[in-house]
C-alpha cells in the first residue's frame, strides 16, 4: 500500500518548491509522525483524509522532519464532542520551532507536559484549563516557560465540533499564530530560528486534523 503524501516536491530549474511537504492522511505513517503518549490506550490513526487523535491523557504527535528557513504551517483541526469516552472541550495545542538544547535526539519523552519544560519552543494552548484560557508561551530551553500572551474571552476559546483553519508562520521577523484568518498571537525574534520541529499536542480529548501542509515563505 502506498504511503500517504508527505513529500518535498521537485521543481524545474532548481527553484525551491512552494509546498515543502503535505500529508493527505489516507493512512498513518510512523515514518513521518512520532507519537509520545502518557497512556497506552491513546489512539492515533488516519483515514478518509483525517488524522484522529483520541487520548485519555497527554499526547504529542511530532512531525519527524525538522523545518528550517521561513515557512508557513497550515492545517484544519476540530475538537470532537459527541459522547465519546475521551470527548472533552479543551487543549487544542501545538508546539513549533522546537529544539532540544540538551539532547541530540528530540523524541525521548513520554507525553507528559512537564517532560517538555527543558525544550526551546513556541507553544499555543487554545482552550486550556477546561476551555477557560488561550495562552501563548515561549520555552527558553532552561526550564522557563515565558507567557507571551493570554485570552479568556469566548471569542478566543473553543467551540465544540467547529473546524478551525490554523496558520503558523515563522520567518526572520518573528512568528505568528492565526485562527480563521485572525492573528491571535505574534512574537519577534532576531533572524530565522534554527531548524526545529512541529507537534500537535492535546490532553484528554478527541480531535481531528486535516489538510496539513508546510509552505515556503
Task: Tell whether 14 is covered by a domain.
Answer: no
**Cβ-contact 175, 167 below 8 angstroms:** no
**Number of domains forming the structure of the chain:** 1
Q: Which residues pair with 96 in a beta bridge?
A: 122
Average pLDDT over residues 39-56: 98
Percent of the chain with pLDDT over 90: 90
Kindly state whether residue 5 falls inside one of the protein's structural domains.
Answer: no
Q: Is the pLDDT of residue 16 over 70?
A: no
In a domain, 12, yes or no: no
- Give this prediction's pTM: 0.92
> Is 162 within a domain?
yes
Q: Has residue 25 been placed in a domain?
A: yes
Instruction: Give per-residue pLDDT as tens, 63-105.
Output: 999 999 999 999 999 999 999 999 999 999 999 999 999 999 9
Give me the torsion for CA of 210, 158, 162, 176, rounded to 10°: -50
Nearest to 201 by CA among 68, 84, 34, 47: 34
Per the structure, the complete domain to which residue 45 belongs is given by 19-216
Residue 141: give its domain's CATH number.
2.60.120.560
Query: Does residue 2 lie in a domain region?
Result: no
In a domain, 145, yes or no: yes
CB atoms inside a 10 Å sphere around CB 120: 18
Amino acid at each position: 500500500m502506498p504511503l500517504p503524501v508527505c513529500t518535498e516536491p521537485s521543481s524545474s530549474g532548481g527553484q525551491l518548491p512552494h509546498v515543502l511537504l503535505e500529508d493527505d492522511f489516507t493512512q498513518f505513517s510512523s515514518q513521518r509522525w512520532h507519537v509520545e503518549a502518557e497512556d497506552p490506550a491513546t489512539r492515533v490513526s488516519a483515514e478518509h483524509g483525517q488524522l484522529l487523535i483520541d487520548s485519555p491523557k497527554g499526547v504529542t504527535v511530532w512531525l519527524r522532519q525538522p523545518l528550517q528557513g521561513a515557512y508557513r504551517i497550515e492545517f484544519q483541526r476540530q475538537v470532537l464532542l459527541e459522547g465519546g469516552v475521551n470527548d472533552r472541550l479543551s487543549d487544542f495545542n501545538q508546539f513549533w520551532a522546537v529544539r532540544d538544547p540538551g539532547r541530540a535526539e528530540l523524541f525521548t519523552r513520554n507525553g507528559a507536559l512537564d517532560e517538555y519544560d527543558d525544550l526551546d519552543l513556541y507553544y499555543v494552548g487554545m482552550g486550556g484549563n477546561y476551555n477557560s484560557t488561550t495562552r501563548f508561551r515561549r520555552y527558553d530551553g532552561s526550564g522557563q516557560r515565558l507567557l507571551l500572551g493570554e485570552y479568556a474571552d469566548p471569542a478566543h476559546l473553543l467551540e465544540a465540533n467547529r473546524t478551525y483553519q490554523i496558520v503558523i508562520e515563522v520567518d526572520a521577523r518573528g512568528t505568528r499564530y492565526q485562527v480563521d484568518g485572525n492573528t491571535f498571537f505574534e512574537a519577534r525574534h532576531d533572524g530565522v530560528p534554527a531548524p526545529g520541529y512541529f507537534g500537535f499536542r492535546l490532553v484528554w480529548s478527541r480531535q481531528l486534523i486535516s489538510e496539513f501542509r508546510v509552505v515556503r515563505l
